[in-house]
């Protein structure tokens, strides 16, 4: 059996359909298949428009995108510039083959290159394989912090004043 070749490279506009397909696969895995409202057009504007807000790496195996690490710059008043890893996704059939680690390596190299003072991401409390992977690479999982979120509905009904 031959060794699988994994290419990690910066993502391009042409990669977005495959990336969005991975996002939908993740939403299914996380039992929220209807939660994804993002579109390729939104991702093109947000990732490649004049005010781009995210970047990503893709993992290519056999000419197909099998994983993605999507991130953006964040800022902490306590620590300074950081990177936020919004999603690290590897398609189910290719998990456990080192693709996630290679994508995380690329993200961490970007943090070093950009002189980030911290990196941050989240993992669901029930996703034991992901939690174990992150602990293995030295990440702290901090249970005392709660996520605060608002979606479009809450944003539009926010009360000012």
Query: Which of the residues are catalytic?
Result: 134
Given its phi and psi angles, is residue 134 left (phi above 0), alpha (psi -120 to 50 degrees) or beta? alpha
CA angle 84/88/92 to nearest 5° reads: 165
Residues β-bridged to residue 8: 59
* Closest C-alpha to 86, from 66, 61, 103: 103
Centroid of chain to Cα 75: 17
Neighbours of 10 (CB within 10 A): 11
DSSP designation for 100: H
Q: Strand 64-76 and strand 80-90: pairing?
A: antiparallel
Do residues 131 and 122 touch, judged by C-beta distance below 8 A? Answer: no
């Amino acid at each position: 059996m031959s060794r699988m070749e994994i290419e990690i490279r910066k993502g391009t506009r042409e990669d977005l359909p495959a990336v969005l397909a991975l996002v939908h696969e993740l939403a299914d895995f996380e039992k929220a298949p209807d939660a994804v409202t993002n579109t390729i057009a939104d991702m093109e504007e947000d990732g490649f428009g004049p005010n781009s807000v995210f970047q990503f790496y893709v993992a290519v195996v056999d000419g197909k995108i099998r994983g993605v690490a999507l991130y953006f710059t964040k800022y902490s008043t306590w620590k300074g510039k950081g990177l936020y890893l919004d999603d690290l996704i590897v398609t189910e059939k290719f998990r456990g083959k080192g693709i996630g680690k290679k994508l995380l390596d690329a993200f961490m190299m970007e943090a070093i290159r950009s002189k980030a003072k911290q990196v941050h991401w989240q993992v669901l409390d029930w996703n034991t394989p992901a939690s174990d992977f992150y602990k293995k690479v030295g990440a702290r999982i901090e249970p005392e912090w709660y996520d605060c979120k608002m979606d479009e509905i809450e944003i539009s009904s926010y009360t000012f004043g």
